[in-house]
Structures are given as C-alpha cells and as structure tokens.
Chain A
Amino acid sequence: MTVTLTPVLTARWDQADSFTLRNYEKADGYKALRRALQRKPEDIVEMVKDSGLRGRGGAGFPTGMKWSFIPKDSAKPTYLVVNADESEPGTCKDIPLMMADPHVLVEGVIITSYAIGAKHAFIYVRGEVLHVFRRVMNAVAEAYESGYLGQDILGSGFDLDVVVHAGAGAYICGEETALLDSLEGRRGQPRLKPPFPAVAGLYASPTVINNVETIASVPSIVSGGAEWFRSMGNEKSPGYGIFSLSGHVTKPGQYEAPLGITLRELLDLAGGIRNGHELKFWTPGGSSTPMLTAEHMDVPLDFEGMAGAGSMLGTRALQIFDDTTCVVRATARWIEFYKHESCGKCTPCREGFWWMVQILERLEKGEGTEADLDKLLDMSDNIAGRSFCALADGGVAPVVSSIQYFRDEYIAHFEHGGCPFDPAASTLFAQELGAKA
C-alpha cells in the first residue's frame, strides 16, 4: 500500500506533557523561530508562498499571498489574528492541536507576525473549550517568561505581544470579519468586503487572519523548506493536513496525511465502517460542505478533487454516517443549527433557515409532500448567493445535497407516514437501547 500517514502537526501529541515549553524545546521547538529571525521578513513570506500552503480554515486561500496583501507603507499598525473559533459542525482538529501542542501555534504566531510586521497578535479561541483556553494562555505565558514574546525577542529587535481571547458562543464569529467585530467588543456580524481585512481589518488597520492549523504549519515549513512541504500532497494542494474522522467508523480520530488521500484509504486506516454496516453519506469538510456518498470514496481529498465532485474540502471534517442513519433527520438537525447561528443581519438567511426547519420537521414526521422538496430547493436558491456571508451558502449545502442523493428517502417518509428509521440503531449503544436493527 502506498498510502502513509505523515505526522508533523500531530507528531508530539502522544508524548507526556507535550504542551510544556520544556518539552517543546527538547523537541527542537522554537528553532524555526531563531532561523526565521535571521532572515528578512519578506523571505519568510516568499518561502510560505513557494510552499503553496493554503488556508486550513476552510476556504483554502493561498497563505503567502494573503500575507503579501498587507500594505508595506501603512501608517497604522498591522495585526495578526488567529482564528481558533473552530465551530463548524464536524470540525475537531484545532482543539486537540491547541490542547496537545500550543507552543507550535505560538511559534507560528511569532514567525508570522515577524513576516507581516505585526507587533500585536490575537488568538481568538471559542469560549466553550475551557481546558484548551488554559493551555494556550499557559503557553503564551511561558513564551513571555523565556523571551520568545515581549520586547526584543531573542535579541532580534523584534517586539511582539500576544493576547489570548475567549469568545462567548457564536458560530458566526468564525467568519473572519464577524470575528473582527467580536474582537472589537461588538456583536459578531460579518462586514462588507471590500475593504478586505488586509487593508482595513481589526481597528480598521491591516490585518491577517489565519486558521490555527495554517499558522501551526509555518514553523515546519521554515525548518523543512518549501520543497519539503511540496514533497507531500500535490501541485495545487501541497502539504499535509489533519483529517478528522467521526461517526460510524471503527476508529474515529485524527489522521494526518498528505492532501489528496481518499476516503477509501482513510477508512482502511480507521478500520472501516463499524461492523455489519456500510457507508451511506459523509461530509468532506464539515456540515457546510455538500454531502457525498459511497460513489465518491476514491475522489482525492484535496481542493480540486472535492470541487470536482460538487463539494468542498472545507476543514477535512469527515463525518461518516452508515446505513442506520436517516438523512432527513441529519439534515433537519443541521438546518436547526444554521437557524440558531444565523446572525440575523440579512433576511434570506434569518428567515429562510427558520422556514426550512418548519418544512424539514414536517418532512421528518412524514407529513410533507413532494412539493415541499421543490420548495426547499427553491428556498436554497434564494438563500445562497443572496445573503451577506458564506454561512448562508454553507447552510443550504446539506439540504441541496441530501435531496440530490436521497430524494427517494424523503419520499419514503411521507409514503411510510413517518421516519422509517429506528434512531436507536444509529447510536453507539444500539444494543443497550434494544434497537430493532
């Protein structure tokens, strides 16, 4: 078998107390920073550009290019903001990363800030992960004590302050401009773009916003080099990434592999779908990426591959559902999420998801009609692309894709006069609940 895993970001997670500065330094931590500080900031930007690293927060924008948009001659300070809001349903990679190896993130923050000329950086962590917040705060405190943060870092003349900031429960704050509003102490509502954050971001100043995994990849690129990074993955989607398998797989968890690995290969590694069942549907990168089915198991999990299959790589949050799962129930629950999380700024999103929940609940109970399906598709057209931000586009993804692949199952609900599935059968404790299946 040619597929192998390539632990880089996850390489230290099984070591005792991997989160302490001492253990990070023992593993050559902060050496990349020393190297970076001996080079010109522009060289670091060039190197990250050459590596082809693309944002790991979902959209896959080229990271080096994003950094190069920061104006060189701005009178205002430049800021780095790390998006650690990880709330896209299914996504669970940044949280274990910050818990096990917060220093690799801090080192990435320092190198990136040096590269873009920021003297102030923020790590915006969702509030609902107390211990992760503790670990990141602690890592930052340790970095200050050892002279990796503060004034004149390692004698380089470079100064940097880092603030670890807790959110307060709002999925929309993961959207980069909503995050900025939230970080400014406001309701987290997206801003109109342009201006893009690189020009007018935090406090209307030039700002780079990157995902945790993106920033955590920077130290290894500085140490290993752009060519090394490119030796994994492929031309348009180079490098490694964390693939998070959850749901009905034998061994759910984190698998770090070159981009372009397939679901079939990952499932092989994860012991397959749980015993006695088969794959029904899955999301490649969270609930906002259109679901796929068993026929897509051999499509490369990279940006182009997933786009070609009508979906998106997203956050590589592979939520896997077997034949016991009702797709109507799954979709209805996801739409409840988008309804709950809509920031309320635009009507199609705020009202649309509300109506969709009503319809989906009706359908789940077997009280819908085929006309409801067309209505859902029609509403999807009116929500996506007519709203302010990408929450709306992501939110219609489960509706459109589930009707595309499982129209018959929706129809079976009203033919059957209710849901034909036993919810107990899909649980991990099906036997105890006396499931029928």
Chain B
Amino acid sequence: MTDLNDVQPDQAATSPLDDTVRAEMAEIIARYPEPRSALLPMLHLVQSHQGYVTPEGIELCAEVLGITEAEVAAVATFYTMYKRRPVGEYHVGVCTNTLCAVMGGDAIWDDLSEYLGVGHDETTEDGKISLERVECNAACDYAPVMVVNWEFMDNQTPESARELVDRLRAGEEVASTRGPRVCTWKQAERVLAGFPDGRATEGVAAGPASVVGLELAHENGWTAPEGGQRELGGSTK
C-alpha cells in the first residue's frame, strides 16, 4: 500500500485551473438563482480537473463565489465524495452497509482489501485503484453491490470482484452490470458537475431485479385498474 501523497506522478497529474475552468464555473453558476448554490457542482468540477479537492481548487471556488476559503473548506470536508488526497483512476466502492454486508459484502471487502493490499480510502501503488467501504448505494435488491466510479456492479462475489479489479488495472474496457462503460474517476466527476458525456443512452433501462414484479404481473395478466393512462399503467395488456 501507499500513502496517497506519494502516488505515481502521472496519476497525481492535475490539469491547471485556468480560464477554461473559470468559464465552466461561470456556466455552473448561471444555472442557479443564487451563485452559492453552484458550490457543490464546482467542487465536483475541481475534482474532475485535479483528481481531488486541492488547496488551489478551494481558493478558486472562494474567489469566484466571493466567500472565504474557510467556508469552502467547511463544505468540502462535510461530504464524503470530496477527497482530500488524489484518487486513483478507478474508485472502487464495496457496500458494507448491513444488508450487503450480510449478503457477502463483508467477505468481498476482506478479500479485495487483502488482494489489493490497501485498506479503506487507500490507493494501490500503481495509482489505479482507490478502495472505499461505501454506505447503502440504493441497489440493495442486487446485493452484494459494488460501484466503480459510481457505476453499479451488481451481484458481486469475491471472485468477480478480483476479476473486476484485474481488468481495470490491465486497462481493459469494463462495463457496469447495467450496461454503461465505466469512465475514469475524473470523467465521472465532470458529469456530476453537470457536463454530460453523451453516455446517457448506454445500457439497459432496468436491471433484472428491477423488473421482477413487472414480469410477474405480465405472466399473470395483472394490471392497475381501468381508468389510468393506457400505457403508463392502467387498462391495457
């Protein structure tokens, strides 16, 4: 394992917070009735350029919004998605909240942490993988759940988790179990700042567990009573 402060130079590489970034920040601010509402997306934007919330990023947010650096730092430290040290190319989360933990999340965590040689909130020496224990990610019907750069990896096992990180480290293209291709952590942060990456239509509409009830309804001819919108539930089928 390694301290995140001495990760490889290419991973720690940050792009400067130049005029383009200022322009992007202005674009974010323009979405809101009051400028300060832009702070959360602006911090996501900082991470997308610099890999974490850098002192420089805090300074710029403060300057652009006309608030103090202390105010920005207070916000940045409140939220778990904002990182104070560089994150690897792939942020890998293992859900260890109760339901996933019981269903196998704890076993996955123990195995993966040992396999990668890193603990919670640590990054592998090659700068590829940052590992984190995450809270319930609203996918409990797919337990045990993992996330890579905040894309769902449903129904995992210790073996599938190892295979997943092997593929990520080998630079292979990896897709979420619900379809979309996994992008880098910085690219994901850019989307969360509100800049689309054109991948919205990738992947399925719903994973298998999301439609078990619907399939059962189809098999049995069950519908909501007459009177509703036709296709949006109601009298047809």
Interface residues of A (CB under 8 A from B): 4-20, 26-29, 31-32, 77, 86-92, 94-96, 99-101, 104, 120, 126-131, 133-135, 137-138, 141, 163-171, 182-188, 203, 219-220, 223-225, 227-228, 231-232, 240, 243-248, 251-257, 269-270, 287, 317, 319, 321, 325, 329-330, 333-334, 337, 340-341, 343, 423-424, 426-429, 432-433
Contact = CB atoms under 8 A, between A and B. Distances in A.
The 5 A-B residue pairs whose C-beta atoms are closest, nearest first, are A8-B233, A185-B39, A253-B212, A255-B213, A27-B231
Nearest to A326: B102
Given A166-B194, A167-B79, 18 more contacts: A5-B214, A8-B234, A11-B224, A14-B214, A89-B99, A130-B150, A130-B192, A134-B191, A137-B194, A168-B40, A168-B79, A169-B81, A171-B135, A186-B36, A247-B102, A337-B98, A423-B102, A429-B158
Classify the secondary structure of B's interface with A. Answer: loop
A296 B14 CA distance: 56
Given A90-B140, A183-B37, A137 B196 contact: yes
Contacts of B75: 185-187
A248 to B, nearest CB: 8
A162 to B, nearest CB: 10
Contact of B196 (A86, A134, A255): A134
A256 B135 contact: no
B130 interface: no
Nearest to A18: B205
Given A252-B143, A287-B98, A341-B135, A131 B178 contact: yes
A321 B140 CA distance: 13
A87 B138 contact: yes
A224 B140 contact: no
Most B C-beta atoms less than 10 A away, residue of A8, A317, A334: A8
Interface size class of B (residues with CB under 8 A): 35 or more
B213 A254 contact: yes
9 contacts: A14-B206, A128-B81, A184-B37, A219-B229, A240-B224, A252-B212, A254-B141, A427-B102, A427-B104
B106 interface: yes
Nearest to A131: B180
Interface string B10-44: 00000000000000000000011110111111011
A89 B38 CA distance: 28
Most B C-beta atoms less than 10 A away, residue of A203, A423, A427: A427
Contact of A246 (B140, B193, B202): B140
Contact of A321 (B39, B80, B102, B213): B102
Nearest to A222: B229
Given A166-B192, A184-B37, A17 B201 contact: yes
Contacts of B78: 170, 187-188, 343
Contact of A423 (B31, B107, B144, B196): B107
B223 interface: yes
A118 to B, nearest CB: 12
Contacts of B102: 247, 321, 325, 329-330, 423, 426-427
B141 A334 contact: no
B76 to A, nearest CB: 9
A29 B232 contact: yes
B141 A246 contact: yes
Interface in B38-94: 38-41, 43-44, 65, 74-75, 78-82, 93
B231 to A, nearest CB: 4
Interface string B202-237: 110111111111111110101111111111111000
Contacts of B202: 131
B136 interface: yes
B27 to A, nearest CB: 12
B113 interface: no
B212 A270 contact: yes
Contacts of B138: 86-87, 91-92, 94-95, 126, 129
B169 to A, nearest CB: 20
B34 A28 contact: no
Given A224-B229, A426-B102, A96 B201 contact: no
Contacts of A168: 40, 43-44, 79-82
B81 A255 contact: no
Given A99-B178, A130-B191, A325-B102, A163 B136 contact: no
B134 interface: yes
Contact of A14 (B79, B81, B147, B205): B205
B101 interface: yes
